[in-house]
A and B are shown apart, each in its own frame.
Chain A
């Protein structure tokens, strides 16, 4: 009956036209500036709770910013009426309760042995861990992978090392021909004496030379000393005749020198 009492037909609503365009005109400017705050008011909540007349001034301002008063009243009544109407609905069939309880009784009850039936692999697959643990494991794997990669690159890193190797270059120096019967190997002069010093001390050279001359005397075979493996020199037997056999030549040479 209460709802019937507030009945107004559509025609009567048309006689008092709703103030759609002017519903904000009476709101002071200071209130309009506070609209931000009014937006926080839940109009839907108000619709379900109170009629427009029972709203506070702030709530009314918030409502009027959204809709005219007559629309609020209409929606308020709609909500109340719908609530009342929708509460009335038939009850469920009592047989349903028995049927679902029967279904529950038929369900196999979980027992303590049930988990043992599931295979180890299934349990491992189904094992659940928190998401953060999975994420942490992935991060650890990535860190380990990249650090190992870095170490490998460090071990494979090559450096260019310069090693001083000395080549000893000998130059043959022509000597005045003397008695060719006294066959001595030509003297060899190191054109890079400083390098020669560095590679082998002078004493060693002298020893090597002595060694070779000793061996030459022993077996009559001219051979490079073992201590100078890079020294490749073969002494050739002089060809031709001896100067002693050519007296004219000997005399000429004596005049020249």
Chain B
């Protein structure tokens, strides 16, 4: 939405308002309607709009690089455009041409939405209220700290897996059982079930999360890798974080929703300024 702020139309409108205010303030008189003033600002805007050169300094560079002939051609075409535009306004085409009405309306809506989403301070209390109302959604998933010892099957036959399970069973009483290299890793610190599942498969991860924290080795557990002994050294319940710890995240969420909601609200507010009289009697 921030790109709205780069929108040339916005620059144009803001600029126009500023100029109008300035003129009003200093009591400058508008030039008579039959005079078309072509100054540098006008040419820059034209270059920007026609060639899509919105980056800073780009339109300036383009304009400055023009030969006299090119600049004169630009001026001529601008004058022609402006004259026709004024004539169109004079005969009221802007009110009768549906396409023009829609375009203007759309531009206004776009601008309104963009401005509505701009930085506005968020009320601290409402953030806190939201956090409290949502409660459980912010609770961290439980985690475990654990070690694994792996027993690789000879091959992937049922007999191979059974033998690996048997090896593991024999080793489970040892204080430091020795197994085979386990590529995904042999220690996991404060790991969630989801993360463990993505590396070991959901079944093994779920089985590990069923185990209590205790110094003894537990298992064996079977997986598509082979057989595993597990030592769960720590078990962390899913804590509810303090508000301060997730405040920024809540704010980010609220802001992303605001863009959605306040945009609509801002447009509605515009529309609500009007009293509507429906007169359908024939």
Whether A and B are associated in the same complex: the answer reads no
Task: Give me the interface of B with A, judged by CB distance under 8 Å.
Answer: none
